[in-house]
Structure 1
């Protein structure tokens, strides 16, 4: 079976916001203000209303926006026109486009993309094409990149309470580069290879954000005889093959259902006929039913002619997904799974009689307030009709178990219209030429160079090349390549361990980490003391290294002081040395290290200890 797979990769850029001077960082501070809004769809430049936008509007939601004055301004509130696009964000996107071998446009024209799920206060997202016709090479062939865009990030969703959704505006407006591949990917293995390759190119620039939530992969999947389905919010690269495999299986199942249902019943026989079945369940032992009735709910049901046996583990989750999203119910019951959940066989039979079901018919019931229950069954009916088409075009959300759930219909072209507040941005030939001449070293090339230049093993070199500290590493070891192993260990292992232990490593400025490593390289700070110094800096990141050493009691020994200390220890351990001879060196090293406690470098201690042992009487 032919499978087509493509990506939309969204990567935050490490700059200030795209259309104002607010910082491109998140904050957990209490908001200074809260603004409430309702959003409505508008027509595109062709006079059409986008189906996804209309679907959101029908949900009747309203939105609250938390505003922190230090991280958002009137631009994010849509109370002030956008400023000129941030030059650094534009330049970074051009650089990424050139690394992807794409053709950069002569002029950048921003458009408005209709978005009324509340994630943008204006009801649209500003986006612009920066380049086109790029590509990457994979072991299974070329993957084309037809378009590269620069756009603004959405607001950060905080919580949802009924029809109210709360967003925070700190994330809104952070520059986002969007890389769209053609559906050239044929296997899950090629998909993860392509995603990693694009990710490495992005990180090669040193101009993108890192960490959870800063990069997202939307996966587009279609199989032969089906339609495109977009799965949003894939953050873990290792889950990509499983998400693709699960979606392929889901689509195969839907095509099987299509074939089976078409052999049973005609589409026009699936009527929306809703019955009030509350009386049947007045004495029900089901906790869910009791709770609904206690909240003045009703039990509504409908027949699905010819659907018996097609719901359990097949179409049932699809119907429930539509009901949850479009009506806000927690779930539905269907005949393929009953009796269960406290609903008795007698109640099931009574429902079947009431709805006049044959053996091939199924039913769906919903326990909710009347209006919500009816809306849920209308959504179920809508999805049941779509089963005759096989696979509906839709947007789905990736889940932790690598499955997905329904979100909304797939957006169409009707969501785009021109941005009138931002003039075109001309990309001069000189800027393009300068950028082409100063492209950064790709991670795959850097890894090979680090392996050769610093005598690192392949795995360590690759890890270091992908690290945010790769440039810092090279600055530190430039004058002493023998220090490379220790520096790499601190940057890749020690800092990671401190994060796991709960230390705020992110609070330490990069230049301060560099200062610590240089002090260790010069022998001004014992290597054994580096961990304690870094822990101290996590709490007080602006402290001077000398101040930290004094606070931790790490004022170092000079060589003469250290030699005198070692001589005294050897005198105390004279009998031990005579008894063990050369084997005494290792235990004595431990004794000295314990007394020095990180105030001198281990290599220096070992050298002096060996020198003094050679001078020792009788040795």
Structure 2
């Protein structure tokens, strides 16, 4: 087993295989199965709540999905925040309507970019989901195409399928009784792109995701920002198992997750080999409350004072391995704890970390004796209410059993540090069944045009608009390239438009301006003011900052609010003359060489109210009079 703090692994030797599932929200006017808008709402705007409890249902073949069954064992109540824009479909109080035409059109554009073969007839399916993220207990999903591909520097990555789905509800917070969700996101059109397991390195996973992301943004019809795109990563190594990691938020996270999962599986296999060599086994769970009758452990004492109990499981041959690190700050014991937490426990204690947390040497010895554990064995315990304690220790015991077998197939959640945590078993085919309320659709790929790729767009901006290559790439890959093209079509100088939309907004964002409040109309009005001579270019950052803080203003009102109404040439000359007279000695000594320093002072005196070219001309003239 590796003992390095940051071990290196040969991914090729270990047989790394990875695939991606990319989930991208579409920026359509309405939701997939109703006419509600797809705009995000503030939970404080909710005007009513819906309460539900969800239970698994059998598939057409009478099977129950393992993941759904485990989810159902967690007794939770789900609260949904509804709004004045929430429709009856989202509340699960009426059947879904027909598939949104705009969403279908965008999805077909994406199919073209991924070289996917589109199906002749698309059927809506129900995917069982009872974690509360959908009021109905299932997600509607449509298979649109299969057998596509993308090219990367490490070779071709096949696209196995392209789905058009409804987005889940947005998790707001955990409550004492369950989970609170917001219905503003439920039903937003979403494409899911699944690759084949063709990826062989962490860098390759990142590059494939980056390529797919670029293709999606090339449509100009996908939502942008945190949470609008999510990446799930499927990872396995030769002797390991397929593990699906959910909710990776960014490209660097993909690379980190693949590296971390390789490490986790390699270390679990090393633990497996050691356990088999020791002929390890998992004993029967039992109550050990009597061992801790007089305990000073705050956690255990708190559980017992609340009427709880302590349960334990002996892990024969596990000594030293439960505490073995399999990822940074995560151990086999953490895996046991993850499973116990799924049933409501706060976690587990185990003898590889005890005595600690107020548990004494004497209590550890008594615990070992109570369950028949020797020096080469370990013991895991749970302290909580009786029902939860029984369920949680059984879950921990089951996970310990799988440690002897190796790496379990499962679904895991991504942590911010590149590690992962257990969520549930891998779902199977038993969670899918037909949606009978929506008729099939017959998609026609010939009805949509293939969009220009973003890298091609950047090259065109350089050639057609004479933009600097770096600025052209910023605009093409940014969120506002459609606005840039609109502005240029209206006669705005391309370089000015591009630098305003990218460089200036970045600058004021760093200064704390909420640039997400800026709408396209704000920029177009501002460009018109500059073109008409009512605002100097130098005043643009301040006006944009004013609009960002108060988006209800028009650009003209923001100019007034910022005190940047245009000045006459006479007022410009008056301000420049004051600067020149104040620096007469410098001009006498340096002549026109003093221009650069005085230009900044003159512009500062005018506070962006005058165009820089006008100020420059007047300043040169006044310096010339004195030199």
Residue 56 (structure 1) aligned to one of 68, 71, 74 = 71
**What are the ranges of 5 or more consecutive residues in structure 2 without an aligned counterpart?**
1-13, 326-330
Residue 609 in 1 paired to residue 624 in 2? Answer: no
1:577 corresponds to: 587
User: How many residue pairs are counted as aligned between the two chains?
Assistant: 606
How far apart are the structure 1 equivalents of 2:89 and 2:419? Answer: 37
Residue 488 in 1 paired to residue 498 in 2? Answer: yes
1:526 corresponds to: 536
1:331 corresponds to: 347
Q: What is the root-mean-square deviation of aligned Cα atoms in Å?
A: 2.2
Shift in Å at residue 446 of structure 1? 1.6
Q: In the TM superposition, what whole-angstrom CA distance separates every residue of 1:36-63 from its partner, at most 9, and x where no partner exists? A: 1111111111221111111111112221
| Kept after mapping to 1: 8 A contact 2:285/2:393 | no
Shift in Å at residue 356 of structure 1? 1.5
1:142 corresponds to: 156
Residue 552 in 1 paired to residue 567 in 2? Answer: no
1:11 corresponds to: 24
2:52 corresponds to: 37
Residue 267 (structure 2) aligned to one of 253, 260, 278 = 253
Q: In the TM superposition, what whole-angstrom CA distance separates every residue of 1:15-34 from its partner, at most 9, and x where no partner exists? A: 12111111112211342211
| Kept after mapping to 2: 8 A contact 1:188/1:240 | yes
Residue 427 in 1 paired to residue 443 in 2? Answer: yes
Shift in Å at residue 584 of structure 1? 2.8
Residue 100 in 1 paired to residue 114 in 2? Answer: yes
How far apart are the structure 2 equivalents of 1:344 and 1:546? Answer: 73
Residue 393 (structure 1) aligned to one of 409, 413, 420 = 409
1:439 corresponds to: 450
Shift in Å at residue 158 of structure 1? 1.6
Shift in Å at residue 386 of structure 1? 1.6
How far apart are the structure 2 equivalents of 1:502 and 1:576? Answer: 38
| Kept after mapping to 1: 8 A contact 2:129/2:139 | yes
How far apart are the structure 2 equivalents of 1:282 and 1:565? Answer: 85
How far apart are the structure 2 equivalents of 1:271 and 1:104? Answer: 53
TM-score normalised by the chain length of structure 2 = 0.92
Residue 414 in 1 paired to residue 430 in 2? Answer: yes
Structure 1's consecutive aligned runs of 4 or more residues displaced over 6 angstroms after TM superposition are: none
Residue 316 in 1 paired to residue 333 in 2? Answer: yes
How far apart are the structure 1 equivalents of 2:170 and 2:116? Answer: 31
Shift in Å at residue 201 of structure 1? 0.7
How far apart are the structure 2 equivalents of 1:289 and 1:69? Answer: 47
Residue 470 in 1 paired to residue 485 in 2? Answer: no
Q: In the TM superposition, what whole-angstrom CA distance separates every residue of 1:517-555 from its partner, at most 9, and x where no partner exists? A: 343356442122111211222244343433333343323
Provide closer, same or farther for how the CA distance between residues 349 and 601 of structure 1 changes in structure 2, counting only shifts above 3 A. Answer: same
Deviates more, 1:519-528 or 1:164-173: 519-528
| Kept after mapping to 1: 8 A contact 2:96/2:437 | yes
| Kept after mapping to 2: 8 A contact 1:528/1:601 | yes
Provide closer, same or farther for how the CA distance between residues 470 and 355 of structure 1 changes in structure 2, counting only shifts above 3 A. Answer: same
Shift in Å at residue 515 of structure 1? 2.6
1:375 corresponds to: 391
| Kept after mapping to 1: 8 A contact 2:129/2:138 | yes
Residue 132 in 1 paired to residue 146 in 2? Answer: yes
Q: In the TM superposition, what whole-angstrom CA distance separates every residue of 1:269-303 from its partner, at most 9, and x where no partner exists? A: 534231x3222222222222222222222222121
Residue 227 in 1 paired to residue 241 in 2? Answer: yes
What secondary structure does 1:144 align onto? strand
Deviates more, 1:316-325 or 1:177-186: 316-325
| Kept after mapping to 1: 8 A contact 2:471/2:499 | no
What secondary structure does 2:160 align onto? strand
2:547 corresponds to: 537
| Kept after mapping to 1: 8 A contact 2:592/2:620 | no
| Kept after mapping to 2: 8 A contact 1:476/1:518 | no
Provide closer, same or farther for how the CA distance between residues 37 and 485 of structure 1 changes in structure 2, counting only shifts above 3 A. Answer: same
TM-score normalised by the chain length of structure 1 = 0.93
Q: Superposed, which structure 2 residues align to 1:203-282 within 5 Å?
A: 203-265=217-279, 270-274=282-286, 276-282=287-293
What secondary structure does 1:35 align onto? strand
Deviates more, 1:339-348 or 1:499-508: 499-508
What secondary structure does 1:64 align onto? strand
**What are the ranges of 5 or more consecutive residues in structure 1 without an aligned counterpart?**
none
Deviates more, 1:120-129 or 1:570-579: 570-579
How far apart are the structure 1 equivalents of 2:503 and 2:496? Answer: 10
Provide closer, same or farther for how the CA distance between residues 84 and 609 of structure 1 changes in structure 2, counting only shifts above 3 A. Answer: same
1:171 corresponds to: 185
Provide closer, same or farther for how the CA distance between residues 591 and 394 of structure 1 changes in structure 2, counting only shifts above 3 A. Answer: closer
How far apart are the structure 1 equivalents of 2:584 and 2:556? Answer: 37
Deviates more, 1:509-518 or 1:190-199: 509-518
How far apart are the structure 1 equivalents of 2:571 and 2:311? Answer: 88
What secondary structure does 1:489 align onto? helix
| Kept after mapping to 1: 8 A contact 2:534/2:565 | no
Q: In the TM superposition, what whole-angstrom CA distance separates every residue of 1:175-216 from its partner, at most 9, and x where no partner exists? A: 110000000000001111111111111111110000001000
What secondary structure does 2:352 align onto? helix
1:361 corresponds to: 377
Shift in Å at residue 588 of structure 1? 3.3
Deviates more, 1:27-36 or 1:177-186: 27-36
| Kept after mapping to 2: 8 A contact 1:251/1:391 | yes
| Kept after mapping to 1: 8 A contact 2:268/2:403 | yes
Q: In the TM superposition, what whole-angstrom CA distance separates every residue of 1:442-466 from its partner, at most 9, and x where no partner exists? A: 1111222233444444433322211
How far apart are the structure 1 equivalents of 2:231 and 2:588? Answer: 67
What secondary structure does 2:588 align onto? helix
| Kept after mapping to 1: 8 A contact 2:575/2:605 | no
Deviates more, 1:4-13 or 1:549-558: 549-558
